[in-house]
Each structure stands twice: as C-alpha cells, then as structure tokens.
Amino acid sequence: MTASDRTALLRLLYPERMQRLSITRAAVAHPPFRISQAEAAARIGQVCGEPRKAAAVAKGSQIHERALCLPPEQISALGAIEERNRLYARHAPALALEAATKALRAPLSASPRGDRDVRFLASCSCTGYMVPGWDIGLVQELDLPCDTVRLPITQAGCAGGVLSLARAADHLRSRPGAALVVACEICSLAFQRSSDEGNLTSALIFADGAGAALLESATPPGALEIVDSVSLLSPAPASVLGFQLTDGGFAPQLSRELVSVLPPATARALDRLLAPHGLVPPDIEYWLLHPGGSRILTQIEHSLAIDRCRTRWSWDSLAACGNTSSAAIFDVLRRYLNDPAAPDGWGVVAAFGPGVSIELLLVRRC
C-alpha cells in the first residue's frame, strides 16, 4: 500500500480526524531598524567585553542582518524588567497586526475574503507579558467575530509557531472554517550585558519580528495541506534551552548541548510522524525547519541525510532575518509558498523549543 493509499484509507476510517485543511497564506512583519551581523558583533563584543568571541560567533552564524524594534544603542542601555515589558507592549501589538493583516490578504484562499470564516485565533509569544494580551486587539482591529475562539500560547519558545499551527489544525478538523495563527517576538528585549557564551550566542542570533498564517478547511491549488502533527519532549535537561526571569528581564539559557540533543530526538519524533502514513525520511521532498541557528540546521541535515536544496528556505530565512523565535517558521513557510521552483509532494515542518520540545507537522502540496 502506498503512502497516498494509506492516507485515503485513514480518511475513510476516521473522517472526523482527517478533515482536509491547509495553510493558504503565510506572511511576516519586521520592525524598521536593521543591523548587519558585523555591526552587531562589534557592538555586543564591546558591551559584553568579549569582542573576539562575539566576532567568532557572528562569523559562524550564517546571518547577514536582522531587524530590531529599537536602535541598537537603546537596546544595549535597557534597564529593568518593567521598562522592557513596557516596550514589548508598545511594539508587539502593531507588529502582530501587520503580519495578521498580510496573512488575511489570501490569494490562495478558497473564499474571496480570507477572514470571513475565521472563528479561531491562536496567538503566540514568549518575550513579553500583557493582560489582556494583544490577541484581544487583533480581534477588534481585524473585525473578527466576538465569539472567535482564542488560544494564547506563552511558554513554547521557538516551537510556538508550529505548536500553534497544530492546535489550529486540531480545531478545524472538528469545526471546519478558517483559523488565524499569529506569533510575535521582541527578542532584543532579552539582551543582557553578560559575557556568558550562551548569552552572546543568543544576542547574535535572535531578532524581532512577527509572522502569521491563514488555515482553511479546503485545499486550493498551491496550498499546503496539514496531514498530521506530533509533539515530543526530549529527555535532555530543561536548562539546555529557555529563559530565566530576572529583575533585569529575561535572561537567555542556551547550552552547547542543544546541538547534540536535537538530532536523535528529532529522528524519534519523525518516526512517530511518518510511520502511520507509510512514509520514511527519503519520501520527504522539502523540510521547512525552524532557523534556530546554523549549527542546528547543519546537524539536522547530517543526521537525517537531507540535501541542503531541500532545506534552502530555512537557510535563506536565517541569513536575512536571524531567529525570530516562534515567528521564524512563518517566514520559512512564506518563502516556500512563494517559491515557483519549490517541489510539491510530502514535506515536514519542524520547530524546537524549551524543554527540549519538538513540534512537527506532516504536510503535502499537490
């Protein structure tokens, strides 16, 4: 039995689980201040007292430039958590709204107005805190129905975008229509004047930005059908990746161990995702991986024997935007959907977050 035959059989046996749905549009928004990686390394090295180490990290990052909500000199002078969170509340809602508005201009959408049937909104962010959250403003600014189901996700880190897409897909399988997923991160607000290697790496990789996607209970030509999803927690110590909340704001935790932890854990998660559909990694035509860093992407490619031409959208995103945490995967999706040379067939969307957590989507484009 082929993979397509197996999927058709599953739809016949479990129609409520196999409701067809797809990502019909992905969009991003970036703040106005851009900084080259060379300038970032010089500034961060000077502030943290490690110019040679900062330059070495920047050189291996494969990042060309990144976007920031504030001028670089203001970021290096950030104060206590209250000031940082006030800046988050000032900038995050507008970025999120810009990305959501772009996603609702849906040329692939099955309906002439993409937001007409939106009844579910997943919002994701881990770099600031607001009550009420900026998802309330999205409902009002986008004129979504007041009974729109909202799911705010706050602690999933870089995996939050894929996690939000999976939960939106779960909702649409039982309640067909449309769902909007929006992620927004102001990662620069976590900058710390510390020479710790994990802090230096975080400061030279993470960036600010927002992303969004429209999901619909339809599969118009060119759309990316979501077939299945898997979540997996690695047995690695939670301290390998995460944040510590301090009086000076979020302090990044990033261990070298992450690079060795992810490949075997991803392989286990991938087996759980593919096996029920009769698939193996060589069947996957494209890999839309969270651009968490050059070493992470390289190790995943090597461990799964993936040719770089099948991950090129992740590398392009990393070079142009850096790692915007939960929002980054939407830029990868956007690049794939807008690439006229992108292959059809089976694909995997993957992101990695604190825990260490792995979130996967099995997708297909015909």
State how beta strands 118-124 and 149-153 pair. parallel
Calpha distance 149→267 (Å, rounded)? 34
Q: Considering only 1-10, 78-87, 180-189, which range has the smallest mean pLDDT?
A: 1-10
Residue of 304, 258, 96 lying closest to 186 (CA atoms): 96
- With contact defined as beta carbons under 8 Å apart, do 185 and 130 qualify? no
Residue of 72, 76, 63, 75 lying closest to 34 (CA atoms): 72
Fold entry, domain 24-216? Peroxisomal Thiolase; Chain A, domain 1 (3.40.47)
H/E stretch holding 165 reads helix 160-174
How confident is the model at residue 364, as a pLDDT?
A: 97
Calpha distance 259→326 (Å, rounded)? 18
The distance from CA 168 to its chain's CA centroid, rounded to whole angstroms, is: 14
- With contact defined as beta carbons under 8 Å apart, do 264 and 288 qualify? no
Instruction: Specify the domain boundaries for CATH 3.40.47.10 within the chain.
Output: 3-11+222-365, 24-216
Q: Which two tokens stand for residue 239?
A: 């301290």
Calpha distance 302→296 (Å, rounded)? 10
Q: Render pLDDT for 241-283 as a digit per residue (tens, 0 to 9).
A: 666 677 666 766 666 677 778 888 899 999 999 999 999 999 9
Residue 57 has pLDDT above 60, yes or no: yes
| Res. 113 pLDDT band, cuts 50 70 90 | very low
Calpha distance 119→194 (Å, rounded)? 44
Q: Render pLDDT for 14-38 as a digit per residue (tens, 0 to 9).
A: 554 567 999 999 999 999 999 999 9
Kindly report the three-state secondary structure assignment for every residue of 26-60: EEEECCCEEEEHHHHHHHHHHHHCCHHHHHHHHHH
Mean pLDDT to the nearest integer, 187-216:
89
**Residue 261 CB partners (closer than 8 Å, separation 6+):** 234, 236, 240, 356
3-11+222-365 classified as CATH 3.40.47.10: yes
Residue of 268, 273, 286, 290 lying closest to 354 (CA atoms): 290
Q: Render pLDDT for 95-104 as a digit per residue (tens, 0 to 9).
A: 999 999 999 9
